[in-house]
Structure 1
Amino acid sequence: MPAEGDPGHLLILGGTTEARRLAEALERTPLRVTTSLAGRVGAPVLPPGGTRIGGFGGVEGLAAWVTAHRVTHLVDATHPFAERMSFHAARAAELTGVPLLALRRPGWVPGPGDDWTFVESLDAAAALLPERGRRVFLTTGRMGLHRFAHLTEPWFLVRSVDPPAGERPPCLEVLLARGPFGLADERELLARHRIDVLVTKDSGGDATAPKLVAAREAGIAVLVVRRPPVPEGVPEADSVEAALARLTGFRA
């Protein structure tokens, strides 16, 4: 708990729209806010308040930073698939006694007309691809391209803010672009590249959902990688508003 008269210091493990919105919502409050970004994207959009970019050096490094900077509240608002960082946050919270909240937007749910197959991993998606289509729109992030590098077929389209590095499928086209992308954009992209299967992670949210709507309209099959669970015992909020309510409780 913060000392008397000290409103406290919130560390947001960020990189998502929700992390930025939480920092914006707290901008005019006495609570001091620092957002940490992994630094994997060039020229990121910085939220208000303090920021730090780069890793902490594992659980011990994060715990040391929390202690040294007198962090009184910790919010894990990383990408739903940042499993390692979420584990580090949970363990650091245990070590320091700082309350932790996971901010996770709800996952996607298929609707009428959707042709979705849920898989447990990128490897499972790669195993299914040869029988699902010949022209793939791969939207699982540039960091996981090596999981598909062994596939000589099908042809892949990858869209990324920064050029991918490392192993990649031999039949690959990279489109450098920064979202969000509207429904008209996604319709045009799927048609222009003659996409017949879409691979995505269950990231949730509205920012990247138009590709799913466009796939439904075009009758395109979708492979959806399930998200990992939040570490056991960590309370969750499914919206910025819910997170703000929980933070009020932390400050009580």
Structure 2
Amino acid sequence: MRLEVSLRSTVNMPYDRSYHHALRSALWDCLRPEYSAIHESNEPVGLSFSNIFPWGELTAGDRRKLRIASPDRAVLDTLAEALMTTDRLTVGDMEFDVDDISVHAPDVGEPGSRGYLETATGVVCRLSPSLLSDHDLTATRTAADDASPTFWRPAHGLEPFRAVLAQSLTQSHQRFGATETYDIPITGDIFDSFEPIKDGVTYALPFEPTAGVELTYILSKWRLGYRVRDDTHRYLLNLALDCGIGQRREHGFGFVNTYSE
């Protein structure tokens, strides 16, 4: 399930490309105090969100939107109540009035349905040492520091990328899903086609995980084709719509829409 928040800019300013930390902080402010204990434990609450779109320089009065998804209706209810009460969303230096909030429950369809999911924000895919070993790959660093992560790139092939997506959905299922109803681990391919949206497939984006710490992440955006095999596959695809795919989902990466959106 998801919220679509209709916003109106109150300021003239450039769009902040490194908005992730500020937007996440703004959403967590809406979730306090009900979810403070979860935040302090560093456990995920089950939240994914788009960027503020459409992308581009802001002029006072411009109308933008934000989508926020979660498998937990109570999380969305808390967010909606806080946003409608304050009538304001502040993301770093970007300020918006909240005009309206609507609720949606996108669904990939019954078994036999075909369609596409599209990543509205870049997918984070960091390859762990064990995954590199499994696929006979060599670590490639984004910095001279040996501790810097190896991000997925086209030269690595699709298999490690598929593995990270499957791992992220398995984690979402274990933390937030209907574990008593659906049989996981995942068997079979989740998606049957991978169409990159960016010409160069991957791109770099500044990311500030905490205030004052700026990193560079290598991301990719995709149009992902599927044919729903059975109820379990349908459940997993809908879980991707609720939780996102890849890593750092609760920082706004890997947010997924149905392609018709």
**TM surpasses 0.5:** no
Structure with the bigger percentage of helix:
1
Which has the greater radius of gyration?
1
TM-score normalised by L of structure 1: 0.27
Structure with the bigger percentage of strand:
2
